[in-house]
């Protein structure tokens, strides 16, 4: 079944400090937002997409830090949105709640695990929504639902009060219907990021590197419009060069990512899984159980390779260059697609998503119209830049509007 992605309605606001009669001039005043069911909301038990998790955990005494930051800026929290169970999928299917509606392609998956947040934004039910992105769970649903999304630099936005999956890669991301709202929300949250985040505010993206090997992975029904969008935007940059990113990144990124995330996921939740044996989607439960044998030694070896990859990427990008490539390889599969087809689709998208996850670098997904589809359908085109260049790639994305 399909639904609007909202599992609980709220209306939480923080009054402006000014007198009652004065207009609210806070930067996000008037904007309504939703959060994925991984974020602590005071007075509510976080569900993590699984009823057994919710039954076995306590009511939250306080909000996730990022929620308080948004409330202080004048936004109103109006809903909790569905997530794939324990955030361990890129599909957007939840066996307990259903599949959040993909408004631009009904009957197709919305992408996960921030599926409910993307669905609610695409349907116009909220002005923006928060999700999380470990392996692509902001970027994939943004692309599939035809909206804007950013996976920020790792640690740039506070994750205090947000349930983890793989702490080396977990990020709090933002989904919006427009670049202007994305810029407003990001300016608030990135400005309040953790101490490990050094936001580069005075830099601009001047050079574009088009990743031909990633572009070659795009399906024939989306590739021409992505190429056209890249061509139309070239005049906004000082230089445009075509590269094969695999010449810089010689590692198997998916295998490297899994060697670290598998160990961390089991360390975070393995004990709970074994103690409670929850009812879960078979594919997600199997994915978790496969993490049980991951070792700390393998994870540490992976982290050494990860640091080498980060250094190579940083040298390639400097502080004025962005990679440009499709966010996803194709339009979303049908909700009725086989488990095998969904697995193949996840792996195809992981090939594109793993670079930012491993690098800890920011990536913004930009909705690009597909001219051959009526009514209008959009897919995602991405810009990825060096650590701290979050606001710079949002500004650079204006070239593709």
Indicate the length of the chain as a whole number.
Answer: 401
Query: Which helix or strand (DSSP H or E) is residue 3 part of?
Result: strand 2-3
Alpha-carbon gap, residue 291 to 310, rounded angstroms? 24
CA angle 160, 165, 167 (to 5 degrees): 60
For 302, phi then psi, to 5°, come to -65, -40
From 36, 119, 259, 357, the catalytic residue: 36
The string of DSSP codes covering 177-201 is SSHHHHHHHHHHHHHT--TT----T
Verify whether residue 207 is a known catalytic residue. no
Question: Taking the mean position of all CA atoms in its chain, how far away is CA 86?
Answer: 15
**DSSP secondary structure code for residue 138 in this structure:** T
Please state, in angstroms and rounded to a whole number, the distance separating the CA atoms of residues 9 and 374.
Answer: 33
> Which residue out of 113, 168, 357, 365 is catalytically annotated?
113
Active site residue 251: no
Catalytic residue among 89, 114, 117, 137: 137
Count the alpha carbons within 13 Å of 18 in the hemisphere toward its beta carbon: 9
Encoded tokens for 37: 């069911």
Tokens of 180: 């202007």
113 is catalytic: yes
Residues marked as catalytic: 36, 113, 137
């Amino acid at each position: 079944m399909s639904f609007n992605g909202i599992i609980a309605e709220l209306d939480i606001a923080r009054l402006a400090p000014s007198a009652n009669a004065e207009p609210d001039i806070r930067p996000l005043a008037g904007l309504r937002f939703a959060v994925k069911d991984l974020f602590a909301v005071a007075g509510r038990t976080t569900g993590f997409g699984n009823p057994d998790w919710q039954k076995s955990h306590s009511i939250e005494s306080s909000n996730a830090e990022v929620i308080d930051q948004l409330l202080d800026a004048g936004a109103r929290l109006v809903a909790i949105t569905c997530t794939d169970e324990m955030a361990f999928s890129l599909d957007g299917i939840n066996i307990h709640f259903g599949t959040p509606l993909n408004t631009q392609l009904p009957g197709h998956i919305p992408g996960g695990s921030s599926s409910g947040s993307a669905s609610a934004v695409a349907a116009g039910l909220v002005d923006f929504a928060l999700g999380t992105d470990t392996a692509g769970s902001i970027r994939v649903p943004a692309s599939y639902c035809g909206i804007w999304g950013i996976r920020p630099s790792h640690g740039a936005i506070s994750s205090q009060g947000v349930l983890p999956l793989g702490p080396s890669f977990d990020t709090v991301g933002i989904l919006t219907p427009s670049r202007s709202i994305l810029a407003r929300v990001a300016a608030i949250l990135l400005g309040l990021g953790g101490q490990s985040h050094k936001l580069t505010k005075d830099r601009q993206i001047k050079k574009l590197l088009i990743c031909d090997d990633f572009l070659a992975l795009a399906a024939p029904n989306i590739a021409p419009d992505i190429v056209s969008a890249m061509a139309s935007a070239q005049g906004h940059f000082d230089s445009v060069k075509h590269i094969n990113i695999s010449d810089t990144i010689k590692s198997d990124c998916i295998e490297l990512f899994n060697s670290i995330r598998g160990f961390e996921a089991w360390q975070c939740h393995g004990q709970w899984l074994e103690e409670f044996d929850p009812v879960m989607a078979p594919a997600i439960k199997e994915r978790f159980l496969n993490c049980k044998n991951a070792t700390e030694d393998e994870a540490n070896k992976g982290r050494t390779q990860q640091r080498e990859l980060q250094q190579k990427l940083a040298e390639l990008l400097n502080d004025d260059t962005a990679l440009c490539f499709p966010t996803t390889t194709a339009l979303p599969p049908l909700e009725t697609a086989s488990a095998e087809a969904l697995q193949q689709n996840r792996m195809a998208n992981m090939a594109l998503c793993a670079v930012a996850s491993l690098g800890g670098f920011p990536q913004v997904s930009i909705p690009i119209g597909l001219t051959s589809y009526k009514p209008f359908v959009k897919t995602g085109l991405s810009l990825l830049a060096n650590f701290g260049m979050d606001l710079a790639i949002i500004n650079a994305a204006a070239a593709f509007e």
